[in-house]
Chains A and B, each alone.
Chain A
C-alpha cells in the first residue's frame, strides 16, 4: 500500500522459548480503524510494544510514512506520532488531568511550565474530538471512562496520528464502551489512524474497518469487516470451532436462598432498595444490569461483608439474619467476586495459599498450616479445572486473567457448594476462557448448585440463566423466565421498564 501511514514488516520477537511474534506484517492507512484480534497470549500486546519502542524486535522493522523507526525508543515513537492507550492506564491519580497530559512534553530545563498554552491546546483537542473532561480535576476523582478519555487526550496532545488502544473496553461499562467507539469513529473521520487490540468479537465487528487475527504469535488472517462474520472470526482466533455452551432444560429443586424486602445502605446511600429474590437448587438466576446499579452491594450482602438495614434472608428454609463471611463459607456459599485481582485472589501469594485461605481450619494441623495437604488440594484444582501456567507454588499474579478465574472457580466448585454467587465471572476473558467458565457454571447447575449469576452481558445471561431479574438503581425487577423474553424486553428491563404491578402488590 502506498498511502500507508504505518508499515510493520516481518517482525519477530522471542522471549526464552516462547516465540511471541513470528514474522508479522501489517499496514495501516490514514483514517482507518484496524482491529488486532486474538486471544490472550496471541502476541497482540507484544507487537504493539515493539511498535511503541518498549521492546526491541529480534528481526523486522517498523516504518512510519516510509521512514524506519529506530527500535526500542519510546521517545522516537512518540515523536513519530504514535500514541498508545494502555489497558492499565499510565496515569498518576494524585495529579490533575492537565498535569498528567503535560508531563514530559516540555523541555525539563524550562524555568516555568507554560500551563496556559497547554490548557488551551488540551481544550482545543477536547472539543475537536468530543473528549470532554475538566483539566483541573484530580485524576483519581474521575470515573474509569473519564480516565480513559484522559489517556486518549494524552496521546492526542503529543500530536499522535496513529493511536493504539490496548483492550480499550476491558474496564468500561457497555454504555461507556459504545460512547468510546463513537469517539473512535469520529477520530478516524478526522484523519487519525487507529489500531485497537481486542478479543471481543462484537466490538471488532462494530468498530473496525479491517480485522487482523493473531494466533500463537502469528498472523492467521486479515479480513475487511464487511466480508467476515463473528463465527468465522471466532474460529480463526481460536483455531477450532468454539461455541459457548447453552443451558439445557431441567427441573430446579428446592429454594436454597430467599431474600425478601432487603434494603442496604452504605455510607448513608441506599444501595439496595427492598429487593426480593428466590434462588432454587439446580437453577441459574441471572441478575442483569448496567454496572454500578447495586450489583456489588448485592454480592457483598450475600457474601456476608455488608449488613442489611431491613428485610429477611432465608437460607435453606432457616432465617439467618445477617450473613457473616464465615457463616457464608460454612453454609456452603461459593463466591466468585467481580474484582478478581483485589477480592478474588491475593496476587503476591502462591496458588496453593489462595486455594486454601478460606478453609484454613481444614488445612491446619496442631495450629500449623499443612503445606503438603494444601499443595495437594491446589494440584487437584489445577488438574480438574485446567488452570494453565502455574504450579501450586507459583505466585498467583503470574497467572493470566482466564487462568486466575479458573483457579477461583475451582476453589469454589471443587467442594460442590450448595449456592454459588458468580459476579461478572467472564468479564475480560478471551473467548476460550469464557466458554470454559460458562461450562463450569452449567456443570454446577447440573450438580444441583443454586447459581446466582450477576452480569451485564445480555448474551451470557440469556444463554445460561433459567430466570432473569434486572437490577436498576438498587431495585430488582420481578423474575422472568429466560425462554419467555428476548433481548429487546431485557434491554427495557435494564432501563428500569418493568411491570410495576408486582411492586405495588408487594408494597401492600
Chain B
C-alpha cells in the first residue's frame, strides 16, 4: 500500500503523465474531428505509424524537428484524403476502409523505413525535442515538473484541444462540420456542402494523427521501430467515445489514461518478480473499458456517424 502512495507522491509520475498523454491527445482530437463530421477513421493506428516513421526520417535526413512534424502532418493528410475518397465520395464502409488504411500505412511505413535506412544492430537515432524548463514555475513541487518541464509538442497538443473546442462550438465552420455529422441532408438544405465538410475534417483530423505518431519518434523516443504505436490509435478511438465527442473531455480522458499507464509502469518496478509484468500492461486497458462502459452510456453519438451521404437520397 505504501508503495502505491509512494508512486503517486513521486514527481516523476506526474511529469510522465503529460508526456504519455500527448500522442493520445493529438490522436483523439484527430479522430474526434473526423467523427464529428460523420466519418469514423480507423486508419488512425496506421497513420500514426506512418507519421512516426516519416517524421523521424525527415529529421534523420537533416530536417528541422518542426519540419519533421509538418511532414508527418502532411502525410497524415494524404492518408486522410485516401480515406475520405473511399468513404465520402464512394460511400464505402468506413470500418473496412479505415482498417485497410491502417494495414496499408503500417506495412508501407516499414517498407519505406527498410528501403531508406540500412539494417543495423541498434536502430539509428536523432536528437529529439528537449523539454522547455520554465524557470521559477518548474520548481513548484509536483505541479512544477509535471506542467513546466515538457517538450514543445506537448504544449501545442494542449492548446490544440482548446482551439478545436472553440472551432467546433463557437464558429460557423464548426457548426457546419457538426451539422454534416448529425444530418448531412439538413446541412445540404441549408447550403452547406456536407461532402466538403467531411473531406476537410478527415484530412485535418488525419494530419493530427500523423503528428501524434511523430511525437513518439521526435519527442518521446529518438528512433523508429515498426511496432511502436502499440495500439495507441485504438485507445484514441475509445477515448473519443469516452469524451462524448468533446475536445475538452478528450484532453481529460487522455490524461486519465496516461495516469493509469504511468502508474502501472512504476508499479511494475515495485512489484517486479511478484506479479508477472504482463498483468500490469493490461491495467490501463481494463480501466479504460470500465470507464468507457460508465461514460459511453450517456454519450450523444453524432447521428450520421458511419452513414455515407448521397445527394438526393434519403
CB within 8 Å of B: which residues of A? Answer: 54-55, 74-75, 78, 84, 86, 88-95, 99-100, 102-113, 154
> Is A104 in contact with B190, judged by CB distance below 8 angstroms?
yes
Decide yes or no whether B114 CB sits under 8 A from chain A. Answer: no
CA distance A93 to B300 in the complex (A): 10
> Is A104 in contact with B182, judged by CB distance below 8 angstroms?
no
> Is A107 in contact with B172, judged by CB distance below 8 angstroms?
yes
> Is A92 in contact with B176, judged by CB distance below 8 angstroms?
no
Identify which of residues 212-259 in chain B touch chain A, using a CB-to-CB cut-off of 8 Å.
none
Decide yes or no whether B187 CB sits under 8 A from chain A. Answer: yes
> Is B173 in contact with A100, judged by CB distance below 8 angstroms?
no
> Is B182 in contact with A108, judged by CB distance below 8 angstroms?
no
> Is B186 in contact with A90, judged by CB distance below 8 angstroms?
yes
CA distance A103 to B190 in the complex (A): 7
> Is B188 in contact with A92, judged by CB distance below 8 angstroms?
no
CA distance A94 to B181 in the complex (A): 10
What string of 1s and 0s marks CB contacts (under 8 Å) between B280-314 and chain A? 00000000000000000000101100000000101
Decide yes or no whether B268 CB sits under 8 A from chain A. Answer: no
> Is A103 in contact with B175, judged by CB distance below 8 angstroms?
yes
Contact of B171 among A84, A92, A99, A113 (CB under 8 A): A113
CA distance A200 to B214 in the complex (A): 63
Q: Which residue of A lies closest to B173 (CB)?
A: A108
Given A88-B314, A90-B185, A92-B186, A110–B172 Cβ distance below 8 Å?
yes
CB within 8 Å of A: which residues of B? Answer: 170-173, 175-176, 178-179, 182-183, 185-192, 300, 302-303, 312, 314
> Is A94 in contact with B191, judged by CB distance below 8 angstroms?
no
> Is B189 in contact with A90, judged by CB distance below 8 angstroms?
yes
> Is A104 in contact with B179, judged by CB distance below 8 angstroms?
yes
Q: In the complex, which residues of chain B have a beta carbon less than 8 angstroms from the beta carbon of A75?
A: 191
> Is A108 in contact with B183, judged by CB distance below 8 angstroms?
no
> Is A103 in contact with B187, judged by CB distance below 8 angstroms?
yes
Q: In the complex, which residues of chain B have a beta carbon less than 8 angstroms from the beta carbon of A106?
A: 172
Query: A74-B189, A90-B185, A92-B178 known; 6 other A-B pairs, CB under 8 Å?
Result: A90-B188, A92-B179, A94-B302, A99-B178, A103-B176, A108-B192
> Is B187 in contact with A94, judged by CB distance below 8 angstroms?
no
Given A91-B183, A91-B186, A74–B191 Cβ distance below 8 Å?
yes
Q: In the complex, which residues of chain B have a beta carbon less than 8 angstroms from the beta carbon of A154?
A: 190
> Is B170 in contact with A105, judged by CB distance below 8 angstroms?
no
> Is A95 in contact with B191, judged by CB distance below 8 angstroms?
no
Given A92-B179, A94-B182, A84–B173 Cβ distance below 8 Å?
no
> Is A113 in contact with B303, judged by CB distance below 8 angstroms?
no
> Is B179 in contact with A103, judged by CB distance below 8 angstroms?
yes
Q: Which residue of A lies closest to B304 (CB)?
A: A92
> Is A78 in contact with B312, judged by CB distance below 8 angstroms?
no
> Is A104 in contact with B176, judged by CB distance below 8 angstroms?
yes
Contact of B186 among A54, A100, A105, A108 (CB under 8 A): A100
Min Cβ gap B166→A in Å is: 9
> Is B189 in contact with A95, judged by CB distance below 8 angstroms?
no
> Is B188 in contact with A74, judged by CB distance below 8 angstroms?
yes
Min Cβ gap B173→A in Å is: 5
> Is B303 in contact with A92, judged by CB distance below 8 angstroms?
yes
Q: In the complex, which residues of chain A have a beta carbon less than 8 angstroms from the beta carbon of B178?
A: 92, 95, 99
CA distance A54 to B312 in the complex (A): 7
> Is A84 in contact with B300, judged by CB distance below 8 angstroms?
no
CA distance A75 to B187 in the complex (A): 12
> Is A102 in contact with B175, judged by CB distance below 8 angstroms?
yes
> Is B190 in contact with A105, judged by CB distance below 8 angstroms?
yes
CA distance A105 to B189 in the complex (A): 11
CA distance A93 to B183 in the complex (A): 8
> Is A92 in contact with B170, judged by CB distance below 8 angstroms?
no
> Is A113 in contact with B172, judged by CB distance below 8 angstroms?
yes
Min Cβ gap A119→B in Å is: 14
> Is B187 in contact with A104, judged by CB distance below 8 angstroms?
yes
> Is A113 in contact with B170, judged by CB distance below 8 angstroms?
yes
> Is A93 in contact with B303, judged by CB distance below 8 angstroms?
yes
Q: Which residue of B lies closest to A102 (CB)?
A: B175
Min Cβ gap A78→B in Å is: 6
> Is A78 in contact with B191, judged by CB distance below 8 angstroms?
yes
CA distance A89 to B176 in the complex (A): 17
Contact of B191 among A102, A104, A110, A112 (CB under 8 A): A104
> Is A103 in contact with B302, judged by CB distance below 8 angstroms?
no
> Is A112 in contact with B170, judged by CB distance below 8 angstroms?
yes
Q: Which residue of A lies closest to B200 (CB)?
A: A108
Q: In the complex, which residues of chain B have a beta carbon less than 8 angstroms from the beta carbon of A89?
A: 186
| 6 contacts across the A-B interface (CB closer than 8 A) | A90-B183, A91-B183, A92-B182, A105-B172, A110-B173, A112-B170
CA distance A99 to B179 in the complex (A): 9
Q: In the complex, which residues of chain A have a beta carbon less than 8 angstroms from the beta carbon of B190?
A: 78, 90, 103-105, 154
> Is B171 in contact with A112, judged by CB distance below 8 angstroms?
yes
> Is B314 in contact with A109, judged by CB distance below 8 angstroms?
no
> Is A109 in contact with B173, judged by CB distance below 8 angstroms?
yes
Given A54-B312, A74-B191, A103-B190, A92–B172 Cβ distance below 8 Å?
no
Q: In the complex, which residues of chain A have a beta carbon less than 8 angstroms from the beta carbon of B192?
A: 103-104, 108
> Is B302 in contact with A99, judged by CB distance below 8 angstroms?
no
Q: Which residue of A lies closest to B166 (CB)?
A: A112
Most buried by A among B172, B173, B178: B172
Q: In the complex, which residues of chain A have a beta carbon less than 8 angstroms from the beta carbon of B312?
A: 54-55
Min Cβ gap B302→A in Å is: 7
Given A92-B183, A99-B175, A109-B173, A86–B189 Cβ distance below 8 Å?
yes
CA distance A88 to B189 in the complex (A): 12
Min Cβ gap B37→A in Å is: 13
CA distance A106 to B175 in the complex (A): 10
> Is B171 in contact with A94, judged by CB distance below 8 angstroms?
no
Q: In the complex, which residues of chain B have a beta carbon less than 8 angstroms from the beta carbon of A86?
A: 189
Min Cβ gap B102→A in Å is: 28
Q: In the complex, which residues of chain B have a beta carbon less than 8 angstroms from the beta carbon of A74?
A: 188-189, 191
Q: In the complex, which residues of chain B have a beta carbon less than 8 angstroms from the beta carbon of A78?
A: 190-191
> Is A103 in contact with B186, judged by CB distance below 8 angstroms?
yes
Min Cβ gap A108→B in Å is: 5
